[in-house]
Amino acid sequence: MLTMGSFLLALVLLIAVHEYGHYRMAVACGVKVVRFSIGFGKVLCAWTPKGSSTEFVISAFPLGGYVKMLDEREESVALEERHLAFNTQPLMSRAAIVAAGPLANLVLAVALYSLVSWIGVDQAAPILAQPSQGTVAAQAGLIGGERLLKAGLDGSELQEVESFERLRWYLTQGAVEGLNVRLVAKSTSMGQEREFLLKTSALKAMEPNAELFATIGITSPYSRPVLGELLVGGAAEKAGLLRDDVVLAVGATPVVDAKHLRQLIKSSVVDGEVVSAQWRIERNNSVLELSVKPELKREGEILLGKLGAYVGARPEVVLVQYGALGGLWRGVEQTWEVSSLTLKMMGKMVIGEASLKNLSGPLSIAEYAGKSADLGLTSYLVFLALISVSLGVLNLLPLPVLDGGHLMYYLWEGATGQTVSEVWIARLQQVGMLFIFALMLTALFNDLTRLLG
């Protein structure tokens, strides 16, 4: 119920804002709006506000909406109302009315991102876990435990980084745009600041997914190598380990963080047998040494060591919050960044540098809506902002049947002084419909593959 409810709320809100943008601009330009509809199909509810000539409608299928304006191309218009028809308006007015829908979605995104910035969000602190050997981060000289201070792409000014999520955004941008990422970090053990260069430009053919971050070597924030709940009869309990023990070293290897400790435990298998090691631990401000022998477990065809205990403390959390003006500017920045990245990813899909598997359809969107709503208000607001940006950017693409396609017609009209013929519009509309239908089928196929895979 939560998934369906949050999905329907998102649909209605985003569609209503989009169509309201068209509606308000049409009214401002002196165009008569006959009907404002949320959804298609059977009319469930209709009303006409006092003093208005517009019928507002809610229909059965909320997968879209429309604003029907007085237009001589669709129906006969009385002579005394001809000045109110859409097709009789100046070129700039028609273009403004068409562009107002997508722009309303982008304005909504700014408002939502700003609201999240004003409310504040608890996010993981930008402290880095140990990168795996051979990864981009390891090659740059990062060893784990560094607190990130600033980041930026090649050719841009370094900006303060307030959270681990912000760092992931820079890494995503670097990979998608084919640019290196520069970091300024401070070692928590030595207290020295250093600049690091992550050569993400070499990863420009990769897509922003879990594989990308694994290749870079920055997958999760720093977590202290402390033990949590122990399984009764497990290897940890048998070795005399206790909850809240901090692991300092395994054998002669100092433990950097929880991720490193889990890797050492898994790799404790030699020639099909688990090897015990002397662990140095901190307990109640005292340092102890215990002999620990993990259990042998098989995962598929791989033999791994298992400790029988939860490993890792909750990462350090920081409150990311902005004031009135700072939050508004942050909303503008995030909307621009997401819009830019969306366009670049679309471009990569067109030229074959990114997989069409990145397309998500209604099933995935519904799933994400439910998950974000379950996580809390701010997560759901961020989800709404992201979908609103996607809707705004998609509708501005120069494809027939989309708002951007109509803007292309007006661009042609402005450049040549001639309108696009009805014959050509009909042909282009057919091509556009086929393209959009193909995208929808691809997105739906991706949804089913994710759900059933």
Do residues 56 and 48 make contact, with C-beta atoms less than 8 angstroms apart? yes
pLDDT computed for residue 417 by the predictor: 87
Banded pLDDT at 425 (limits 50, 70, 90) = confident
Query: Residue 123 pLDDT more than 70?
Result: yes
Q: Which residue has the higher pLDDT, 58 or 438?
A: 58
Instruction: Give span(s): CATH 2.30.42.10, the chain.
Output: 124-222, 227-311
Task: Show the tokens assigned to 54.
Answer: 């517009």
Banded pLDDT at 32 (limits 50, 70, 90) = very high
pLDDT computed for residue 453 by the predictor: 59
pLDDT computed for residue 407 by the predictor: 93
Q: For the domain made up of 124-222, give the CATH fold.
A: Pdz3 Domain (2.30.42)
Banded pLDDT at 281 (limits 50, 70, 90) = very high
Pairing state between β 246-250 and 193-198: unpaired
Query: What is the rounded distance in angstroms from the CA atom of residue 273 to the CA atom of residue 268?
Result: 8
pLDDT computed for residue 441 by the predictor: 80
Active site residue 19: yes
Do residues 127 and 223 make contact, with C-beta atoms less than 8 angstroms apart? no
Do residues 208 and 177 make contact, with C-beta atoms less than 8 angstroms apart? no
What average pLDDT does the segment 111-134 reach? 92
Do residues 198 and 225 make contact, with C-beta atoms less than 8 angstroms apart? no
If you classify domain 227-311 with CATH, what class do you get?
A: mainly beta
Catalytic residue among 19, 146, 207, 295: 19
Do residues 121 and 327 make contact, with C-beta atoms less than 8 angstroms apart? no
Residues 6+ apart with CB under 8 A from 54: 23, 33, 34, 35, 36, 48
pLDDT computed for residue 173 by the predictor: 87
pLDDT computed for residue 133 by the predictor: 86
Percent of the chain exceeding pLDDT 90 equals 50
Query: What is the rounded distance in angstroms from the CA atom of residue 247 to the CA atom of residue 257?
Result: 9
Q: Which amino acid is at 343?
A: L
